[in-house]
Amino acid sequence: MTLSRAMDHDFLDRVARIPVQGLGLSVDVYSPDLLSLLADLTRRQAFPMYLEVFHATSSALAAVRRQTDLSLPYHGEGLWVTQPGAETDPLFQEEARALASHLALLRSAWSNHECATKHIAGYSFGTYLPPLYTAASADIVAQNIRAVQAIFDQCVSLPGGNSPLFLLEMPPLTYFVAGSLSIPAYFRRVTDQTACGLVLDVGHLWTVYRYSGVWRTQPILQFLDDFLQEFPVERVVEIHVAGLAVHESLKGEVAALAHGGENCLPRWTDAHAAPIPSVLFEMLDRILRCGRLQQLRGMALEVDTKAPDLIADELAVFLERYQCVFDVDVSRSTAVDAIAPLSVNLRYPAEDNALAKSQALAEAYDRYARVVSGGAEPSGPDWTAAMACCDDLEWYRTEYLPYEILHWGGDIEAMFPETCRALESQRLALDRFVSFWFCRPHPVTRSYDFFDVKIDRFVEFVSDVAVDLTPLAQREAAELRQAYQAANAGPLQIASTGR
Ligand SMILES: [Fe+2]
């Protein structure tokens, strides 16, 4: 049996044990507050069949589990499966075990993870960066997923004796894409080497159409058909639909350009708070008609940070429109008994040069982080291959990323008001914090938290540019940490820095 057939077999065995979840919501515990959202939805008589819950503290998750009988699959965070070196990184192992404990607590049928990261080669970002779409990168993703699935198998036993299934979500593009493999070929290479399921996010797929440059030469439905033909659709377990919008960093004149002219698509990016544009439902209808979604178990609207009224309106339409998807074919799953037991020991690709490959990939990611943050030029095969596209990279470098560092997930002036006033009186512009942030790598040594990283880096920045202000910045940082800790101790109190 080939490795890919063995992986398909293992996948079918695992997914057959997951019941159909139906039409649900992918939610954040804190934003909007989940318990009041459920009360609102009950009042509006638009009720989800399941909730995919985004990463939160154990106590918050336990509170949710106590409050509802709905099935609660999980949306993980902070476990960067795209990055090399995980096998020797104690933090990765620790994250995987903490994740397993959350899955056990919620009794989650699956754990979904973006095929993306917020921390590359010591450089920190607020929102997801897609992987380098190369063969070496796909191989590392598969290897890391196998390691995490083994931890689930060892640590979590769900009712019925199975363990949660690792799902990998195709991430959004935010203005650029790098690498030499097409995105569907990349996911095919991952699924050939691991038994994971996939999440197909329709809005993410729209951003692939937009930022891979294909929109210039193909109509969207043609792109979709070609994409699905190559993508391992047979592994899709869940479909996501969420909003798209022009990013808030693109203000005024820039925003007008971002909305696109007559011959240009808007520069939308993934935006869960925004309304869902109708083009995504046209795409979803086409996806559902492709005939290869044999293992689909759920479809969810991703609604973290969205206004509750809009959630209720969109959910009502979604339930009405797609009710039939799960009515017809509940027996679509292959019966567990029908799967013959595996008769071979699985062998993974030769590991002789694994260290050299991992090091080469680490160097490629180091360069990737420097390119996207403006410290290196987009040259070399990862940026010039036919599949790469950096037409809009400058938007990321000069608008999106500075906004992320200065405002997103914690506004620096609101976090450090006194220090910022003192810096201003010394004519030290806050913009300098952005270049300081990326001037050298800073590996994280604890569970990834962008707000936490921001506090650390700002104190370092102040010490670097105005040493006399260090005590002031340190005092404000201590107050922030204390408030953050206190808020985290309450079950459902704190605003998340989100996806
Ligand atoms: Fe998603």
CA of 201 to the centre of ligand 1 (A): 5
CA of 281 to the centre of ligand 1 (A): 15
CA of 95 to the centre of ligand 1 (A): 21
Does residue 492 have a pLDDT over 80? no
CA of 343 to the centre of ligand 1 (A): 36
How is the chain split into domains, by residue range? 3-338, 409-489
Query: For the residues 1-27, what does the mean pLDDT come to?
Result: 93
Express as a percent the part of the chain with pLDDT over 90: 83
Q: What is the mean pLDDT of the chain?
A: 91
CA of 270 to the centre of ligand 1 (A): 9
Express as a percent the part of the chain with pLDDT over 70: 90
Q: What is the pLDDT of residue 192?
A: 97
**Which residues have a Cβ under 8 Å from the Cβ of 250 and sit 6 or more positions away?**
257, 258, 267, 395, 399, 400
Provide the pLDDT confidence category of residue 340 given band limits of 50, 70 and 90. Answer: very low
How much is the pTM? Answer: 0.93
CA of 368 to the centre of ligand 1 (A): 23
CA of 26 to the centre of ligand 1 (A): 8
User: Which residues, listed in sequence order, are joined to residue 119 by a DSSP beta bridge?
Assistant: 124
Query: Can you tell me the distance from the alpha carbon of 207 to that of 279, in angstroms, rounded to the nearest whole number?
Result: 12
- For 90, half-sphere exposure in the C-beta direction (CA atoms, 13 angstrom radius) is 2
Buried b (16+ CB within 10 A) or exposed e, 270-308: bbbbbebbebbbebbeebeeeeebebbbbbbbbbbbbeb
CA of 240 to the centre of ligand 1 (A): 5
Does residue 493 have a pLDDT over 50? no
Provide the pLDDT confidence category of residue 334 given band limits of 50, 70 and 90. Answer: very low
CA of 302 to the centre of ligand 1 (A): 6
CA of 298 to the centre of ligand 1 (A): 13
CA of 173 to the centre of ligand 1 (A): 12
CA of 307 to the centre of ligand 1 (A): 18
Residue (of 42, 45, 87) closest to 67 by Cα position: 42
Provide the pLDDT confidence category of residue 327 given band limits of 50, 70 and 90. Answer: confident
Per-residue pLDDT reduced to its tens digit, 285-326:
999 999 999 999 999 999 999 999 999 999 999 999 999 999
User: Which residues, listed in sequence order, are joined to residue 74 by a DSSP beta bridge?
Assistant: 53, 111
Query: Can you tell me the distance from the alpha carbon of 360 to that of 340, in angstroms, rounded to the nearest whole number?
Result: 40
Q: What is the pLDDT of residue 470?
A: 97
Q: What is the pLDDT of residue 121?
A: 94
CA of 221 to the centre of ligand 1 (A): 20
Query: For the residues 13-22, what does the mean pLDDT come to?
Result: 96
Q: What is the pLDDT of residue 342?
A: 47
Does residue 341 have a pLDDT over 70? no
Per-residue pLDDT reduced to its tens digit, 351-366:
668 888 999 999 999 9
CA of 208 to the centre of ligand 1 (A): 13
CA of 312 to the centre of ligand 1 (A): 19
Residue found by looking up tokens 């694994």 in the block = 354
Residue 309: count other Cβ atoms within 10 Å of its Cβ: 10
**Which residues have a Cβ under 8 Å from the Cβ of 299 and sit 6 or more positions away?**
22, 23, 24, 238, 239, 240, 241, 284, 318, 322, 325
Least confident of 138-142, 167-171, 461-465, 492-496: 492-496
Least confident of 85-99, 257-271, 336-350: 336-350
Query: Can you tell me the distance from the alpha carbon of 259 to that of 210, in angstroms, rounded to the nearest whole number?
Result: 13
CA of 204 to the centre of ligand 1 (A): 7
Does residue 56 have a pLDDT over 70? yes
CA of 275 to the centre of ligand 1 (A): 15
CA of 112 to the centre of ligand 1 (A): 9
CA of 461 to the centre of ligand 1 (A): 34
Provide the pLDDT confidence category of residue 485 given band limits of 50, 70 and 90. Answer: confident
Residue found by looking up tokens 């869960």 in the block = 272
Q: What is the pLDDT of residue 497?
A: 57
Residue (of 171, 196, 199, 195) closest to 183 by Cα position: 171
Q: What is the pLDDT of residue 161?
A: 83
Does residue 491 have a pLDDT over 80? no
Query: For the residues 159-186, what does the mean pLDDT come to?
Result: 95
Q: What is the pLDDT of residue 271?
A: 94
- Domain with residues 3-338, CATH architecture: Alpha-Beta Barrel (3.20)
CA of 304 to the centre of ligand 1 (A): 11
Per-residue pLDDT reduced to its tens digit, 80-139:
999 999 988 999 999 999 999 999 999 999 999 999 999 999 999 999 999 999 999 999
Does residue 330 have a pLDDT over 50? no
CA of 241 to the centre of ligand 1 (A): 7
Residue found by looking up tokens 């329709």 in the block = 202
And the tokens for 248? 């808030």
